[in-house]
A = this chain, B = another copy of it.
Amino acid sequence: MTEQDRTEPAEERGAPGQFVQSLARGLQVITAFDARHPRMTLSDVARRTGLTRATARRFLLTLEELGYVRTDGRLFELTPRVLRLGFSYLSALSLPALAGPHLEALSAQVEESTSASVLDGSDIVYVARVSTHRIMTVAIAVGTRFPAHATSMGRVLLAGLDAQRRAEYLRTARLERLTEHTLTDPAALEADLQRVRAQGWALVDQELEIGLRSVAAPVTDRTGRVVAAVNVSMRVGMPGASAGDPVRDVVPALLECARRISADLAATGR
């Protein structure tokens, strides 16, 4: 079945629901570029996307004409224009702009790094981040992903799903063991999600990375639906870093921060 078999009838009849294969392929070409494949030949792109060379070439040259790709004739690479696509989302989300000042205040108060993230499939994706300038600070940029099951923000976001979507997640997600502490049993994870849902926040202790502990709380829209999570991440066993009890020292400030961001979101009509 060619692309035209799928798209032409819709184009002619104006019928809804016809999948546009060309768009799917074009987006696939963009996401084929990454840290290990920053510059690729036509053959590389064809191999990584499963497209024929002729088809890959059409998509690359179209992306070049649109300014999203550039080439020296042999190697292709993405241009900064691609950031416009992700930025459409961030700018439409309004969450980074709303959350920023509250995360800054929280970070200053607890003297630890703070972040906001949303759920994308089985990953969390950072949409805002305020890092302290301590030597051990991990550089985490907006757009970074982590598996939801092993992070405090992921637990809060998964706990906020309705029963059907949560069950689907537990049935299908790959619960990778990232440290010796990672919860990888769906039943144990579901029990923790119910606990998180009841108490209104999550603590995850060294399940993503040894030495890293994090608490998270949900951000809700005006209907009470969980739309994002905010967290405070702490180093374990570092002098001065997390000497106290995170639950006593950090959770009240974190919950207040989440409440304020939720109120701001509601005030914007979201």
Among candidates B11, B86, B97, residue contacting A82 with C-beta atoms closer than 8 Å: B86
With a cutoff of 8 Å between Cβ atoms, the chain B residues found around residue A58 in the complex are 7, 10-11, 16-20
Interface string of A107-129 (1 = CB under 8 A from B): 11000000000111100010110
With known contacts A7-B22, A10-B54, A83-B86, A92–B59 Cβ distance under 8 A: no
User: A77 on the interface (CB 8 Å rule)?
Assistant: yes
Of A17, A24, A53, A141, most buried by chain B (CB within 10 Å of CB) is A141
With a cutoff of 8 Å between Cβ atoms, the chain B residues found around residue A17 in the complex are 57-58, 61
User: A94 on the interface (CB 8 Å rule)?
Assistant: yes
Among candidates B12, B92, B141, B143, residue contacting A38 with C-beta atoms closer than 8 Å: B92
With known contacts A17-B61, A100-B139, A125–B83 Cβ distance under 8 A: yes
Among candidates B23, B33, B62, B83, residue contacting A143 with C-beta atoms closer than 8 Å: B83
Residue of B nearest to A16 (CB): B57
Interface string of A1-42 (1 = CB under 8 A from B): 011100110111011111110111111001111110111000
User: A79 on the interface (CB 8 Å rule)?
Assistant: yes
Kindly state the separation between the CA atoms of A97 and B32 in the bound complex, as whole angstroms.
19
Kindly state the separation between the CA atoms of A16 and B58 in the bound complex, as whole angstroms.
6
Interface string of A121-159 (1 = CB under 8 A from B): 100010110000100010101111000000000000000
With a cutoff of 8 Å between Cβ atoms, the chain B residues found around residue A201 in the complex are none
B8→A4 contact, CB < 8 A: yes
B78→A88 contact, CB < 8 A: yes
Of A3, A82, A137, most buried by chain B (CB within 10 Å of CB) is A82
Among candidates B77, B80, B88, residue contacting A33 with C-beta atoms closer than 8 Å: B88
B127→A89 contact, CB < 8 A: no
A84→B23 contact, CB < 8 A: no
User: A104 on the interface (CB 8 Å rule)?
Assistant: yes
Among candidates B32, B84, B92, B143, residue contacting A78 with C-beta atoms closer than 8 Å: B92
User: A81 on the interface (CB 8 Å rule)?
Assistant: yes
B23→A22 contact, CB < 8 A: yes
With known contacts A8-B4, A78-B92, A85-B82, A62–B20 Cβ distance under 8 A: yes
Of A26, A80, A92, A108, most buried by chain B (CB within 10 Å of CB) is A80
User: A163 on the interface (CB 8 Å rule)?
Assistant: no
